[in-house]
Amino acid sequence: MAFLAANGRALLADDMGLGKTLQAISAAAWLHSHAEVERILVICPASLKQQWAREIRKFTGQEARVIQGPAATRAALYRGSSGFLIVNYELILRDGSVIAEILRQDLVILDEAQRIKNWRTKIAAAVKRIPSRYAFVLTGTPLENRLEDLYSLMQVIDQKVLGPLWRYLVDFHVTDERGKVLGYRNLSELRRRLAPVMLRRDRQLVRDQLPDRIESRLDIPLDACQQELHDAGIQAAGILAQIAKRRPLTPGESNRLMAHLQQARMACDAAGLVDKETEGSPKLDELASLLDELCLQSGLKALVFSQWEQMTRMVEERVRALGLGCVRLHGGVPTSKRGELIDRFNEDEGCQVFISTDAGGVGLNLQTASVLVNLDIPWNPAVLDQRIARVHRLGQTRKVQIILLVAAESTSVVSWSWSRASATFLTTWSIKMPPRTSSGSRVSWWRCLRRISPSCRESPRQPTRRRASRPRTVLPKSRHPNRQTPT
């Protein structure tokens, strides 16, 4: 809190579950009392708007205005008196001009700021156009996949810290003669520049305040229908991977490759996600057994996560068949109703299961649960960590059980290995990283495919016979007429 209030514009990158929301509210209240900060704009994901309003009411006694409804209603809310205003990122894109003309906020708080990590998106550009004297940027994952993520966040804090993008790329990236990113360098210098405006603390600093966490992995065999759909997806992806060995894939081919791999991943959860007909799956049977033991017999509350909305519907049917009370959150639930679902789960003893897609995997406080079941393993380790942090966070008083259901001998096993390896890289800030180019992406997918598809055992880096061609002159980066790098 003191770091935010003293700096005025700062990035708070504490690990998930360590109380970034409370720290930001406390710093905002201090600035209101000592620095004449009257209008405070909180920008967060839609699923967190009601939670922010509850936390502000709890710790400051003020009633925050939640911006929602049609354009005319939103405009009236913007014209209201001073205090906290809460808006989601998508509305910033629509109401940016109104906010700039009417609101004139003193402080902007960005929660789950990884939403603007890609500086090329319209939402990121709209957020960065909002003027304010003070700015708090909150995220538990300031660096997910590439250093440009961090650059985009720092543009909100102070554009002078890292300088123009072209200089940032030159200083901290290792590239080949064609501009492909091969790795990173000078990370100690990068940390030095960030130190005055960025604070990050991990769970190790508060491990004595967190309850024990038990993580277990259950390998669930695929049934015959799942295996057939899974293998068909992998085989089709393998054919495209063979093509990728000879030449870059076209955009259409790349999309088909992703679709085939997606089919394989969906089949690992339930065949019905793919063929829309088959009912049930071994994972649903195992989940029913777990909930019977943990919820019905032991009286615990549980969170169940899946990437697929249709899978959450199947889970809801099983949960209700067991006689358990539950709520289900997904992207189609209106923002105004999400707070009611969260309140019911936290306050109603008869509601023991919270079923959610990753729409509920960010920022929610669900410490009333002590069991978390992941029906699928996301590729991005930060998504898995976000899910776990919903229950294993400050304020949790009971031992937490994390259960990962992994389809045996399938892409789920690869997702698990990939997720753990990526988490290790992001934790240690390793210097080396696979290239982000189309060629680098092919190699990354190859590493996955080679472990699960017999048709993909050969290395994509084997030399191939190439047609003779005239020597080509490669211009320096700055002389390429079509290459533009934003500043």
Residue by residue, DSSP assigns 26-77 as HHHHHHHHHS---EEEEEE-GGGHHHHHHHHHHHH---PEEP-SSHHHHHHH
pLDDT in tens, the chain (487 residues): 888 988 889 999 887 767 888 899 999 999 998 988 888 999 998 878 888 888 898 888 888 888 888 888 888 888 876 789 999 998 898 888 888 878 888 999 999 888 888 888 899 999 998 888 999 999 887 876 677 888 888 889 988 888 888 888 888 888 887 777 888 888 888 889 888 999 888 766 666 666 677 888 888 888 889 889 988 998 898 899 889 888 888 989 999 999 998 898 899 899 999 988 888 889 999 999 899 988 988 888 999 999 899 999 999 999 999 999 999 998 888 877 888 888 899 888 889 999 998 876 566 778 888 899 999 888 777 788 888 888 877 777 788 888 888 887 766 555 545 455 444 444 443 323 333 333 333 334 334 444 434 444 443 333 334 444 444 444 444 444 444 444 4
Name residue, tokens 């105004």: 336
CA atoms within 13 A on the CB side of 26: 10
- The 10 Å Cβ neighbour count of residue 181 is 19
Q: What's the pLDDT tens digit per position in 437-450? A: 333 333 343 344 44
Q: What's the pLDDT tens digit per position in 274-292? A: 988 888 889 999 999 899 9
**Judging by DSSP bridges, how do beta strands 83-88 and 39-44 pair with one another?**
parallel
Q: What's the pLDDT tens digit per position in 335-394? A: 778 888 888 998 888 899 999 988 765 667 788 888 999 998 887 777 888 888 888 777
Cα three-residue angle 203-209-215, rounded to 5 degrees: 60
What pTM was computed for the model?
Answer: 0.63
- The 10 Å Cβ neighbour count of residue 469 is 6
Given a contact cutoff of 8 angstroms between Cβ atoms, the answer to whether 42 and 63 are in contact is no
- Round the average pLDDT of the chain to a whole number and report it: 79
DSSP string computed for 381-402: HHHHHHHHTTTSSTT--S-EEE
Which domains, from first to last, does the chain contain? 2-205 (3.40.50.10810), 210-222+279-425 (3.40.50.300)
Closest CA to 449 of 415, 424, 419, 421: 415
Check residue 412 and give its pLDDT.
Answer: 59
